[in-house]
Amino acid sequence: MESHRIIGGGGLGLSEAGPSATHHQHHHHVPTYGVLHGINTTNPSTLINEGHAFNFGELEEAIVLQGVKGRNDEGKAPLFTTAAAPPRPAATLDMFPSWPIRFHQTSRGGSKSGGESTDSALSTKTEPPFEAESPMSKKATTPSSLDHHDASRIIGPSSSSQAKSPHEKRKGAGSTSEKPLDAKTLRRLAQNREAARKSRLRKKAYVQQLESSRLKLTQLEQDLQRARSQGLFMDCGGVGGNLSSGAAMFDMEYARWLEEEQRVMGELRNGLQAPLSDGEMRGIVDGYLSHYDELFRLKAVAAKSDVFHLINGMWTSQAERCFLWIGGFRPSDLITMLIQQLEPLAEQQIMGMYGLRHSSQQAEDALSQGLDQLQQSLVDTIAGGPIVDGVQQMVVAMGKLANLEGFVRQADNLRQQTLHQLCRLLTVRQAARCFIVIGEYYGRLRALSSLWASRPRETLMSDDNNSCQTTTDLQMVQPSHHHHHHNHHHFPSF
């Protein structure tokens, strides 16, 4: 019995420890005892008796209900704990630790248990995330009808809020209001009222802050999408925050090259399907080779004006950038992929492919090591020696940087030679198939980058708090998603 009483009282105490429960978690033990004592010693009669008998049954019911619902977080928020905010969005709601437990004065006849009224009222005003934290709001039966500027609450009804029927709650609520209230109880109630009021105000402020942040975020996202779509992505590496003219021009020409690629790919595909003669196929395959030759020519021009743009890969898609090697694709990786995709091949051809890959790897290693030495030399120059001569240092460093262009040009040269050699190793039709595979492969990487850029993101605000604003993000993503569709509509094979 004693234990029951304490449970009931504990439930009472914990949730009723109004000010403390509302404000700080660590306080709620103290007033528990105070309240317990207060109840036990001063008014041992009806309040606790009825409360206890009343509470326990409904408490049990509530617990069972929670368990049945199977809601982990909320289920675990028993009435005992005033740190009622479920673990997940806990960080945001630590300010309101007494949720979902609430208690309210029963003088308002129709008033529900406080938790319900507060939570439900709040939940109508707040974002979906808040809904999650107040399990009782889910069960609220008369949510919005209540004025949430209620007077303070009492626990008895709060435990009953877990139960379904309003009738019982009313009874519970009513039972408290009908009893004579002594000074201590009055004071307690007043404190509760005050605490609840402060709590509400804090919550209001917080919600407003969140709202404004969200608006700002939406605007930022839109600006970003707009800027990206115009190809004027502001990255700090560029001159004056914009792309250099050489880089911008190359980007434009590259975009045109991509469109041309679709045309040439179409020619290849049609050529393979239609029974074209080998001679005609040869012409088409050579056309594809010239198409790539054109790209390398464009890159050579760009390397003269802005080698960093080529090296940092901003001209290419994100997924391609992932595999970037000195401003472009790595030939040996491409050959590895092709060896798999182009089966079946003649023995001699396979040997040839492996040999090509080996040669390419040797060349790649040599160029990579040369570049490493360049970087090291640059570091030594910039770091400076014992005597730092600023101008001289810069002049030397500039001279070293100029070598970068040479490396990018040699890397492109390697890529170009590899493609030509592939053509020589294969028959005409095999070469056509090979180029179709290459074109599709990079096309898929570009499509992947597109999808990745427009994926719904859940962690936009994760730095500030742990709230998940997935619904918001999905809404914001829509425009960009459409935009990407628009931009990449010419990859029909995907």
Partner 1 sequence: MQYQQSSASSSWSYYMTMRTRHHHAAEDDIAMDRVARLASESAVVIFTISTCCMCHAMKTLFCGMGVNPMIHELDLLPNGKQIERALMALLGGGGGGAVVPVVFIGGKLVGSMDRVLAFHINGSLVPLLKQAGALWL
Binding site for partner 1 (CB under 8 A): 355-356, 359-360, 362-363, 365-367, 369-371, 373-374, 377, 400, 403, 406-407, 410, 413-414, 417-418, 420-421, 424
Residues ≥6 apart with Cβ < 8 Å to 435: 265, 268, 285, 288
Give the number of residues written for the chain.
494
- Nearer to partner 1 by Cβ, of 359 and 465: the residue is 359
CB of 373 to partner 1, least distance (A): 5
What are the CA-CA distances from residue 452 to residues 234, 238, 254, 449 (Å)? 20, 24, 21, 5
C-alpha closest to that of 21 among 29, 107, 256: 29
- Nearer to partner 1 by Cβ, of 196 and 404: the residue is 404
C-alpha closest to that of 413 among 360, 370, 371, 362: 360
- Nearer to partner 1 by Cβ, of 195 and 307: the residue is 307
CB of 403 to partner 1, least distance (A): 6
CB of 328 to partner 1, least distance (A): 14
C-alpha closest to that of 123 among 143, 95, 104: 143
- Using an 8 Å Cβ cutoff, are 138 and 151 in contact? no
- Nearer to partner 1 by Cβ, of 186 and 366: the residue is 366
3-class DSSP state of 325: strand
CB of 348 to partner 1, least distance (A): 13
- Nearer to partner 1 by Cβ, of 94 and 365: the residue is 365
- Using an 8 Å Cβ cutoff, are 228 and 217 in contact? no
10 Å Cβ neighbour count for 43? Answer: 16
10 Å Cβ neighbour count for 103? Answer: 31
CB of 416 to partner 1, least distance (A): 9
CB of 337 to partner 1, least distance (A): 18
- Using an 8 Å Cβ cutoff, are 252 and 259 in contact? no
CB of 225 to partner 1, least distance (A): 41
Residues ≥6 apart with Cβ < 8 Å to 394: none
- Nearer to partner 1 by Cβ, of 122 and 345: the residue is 345
DSSP code for 180: P
Helix, strand, coil % (nearest 5) of the chain?
Answer: 70, 0, 25
- Nearer to partner 1 by Cβ, of 126 and 418: the residue is 418
CB of 470 to partner 1, least distance (A): 50
DSSP code for 181: P
- Nearer to partner 1 by Cβ, of 280 and 365: the residue is 365
Residue 398's identity, in one-letter code, is M
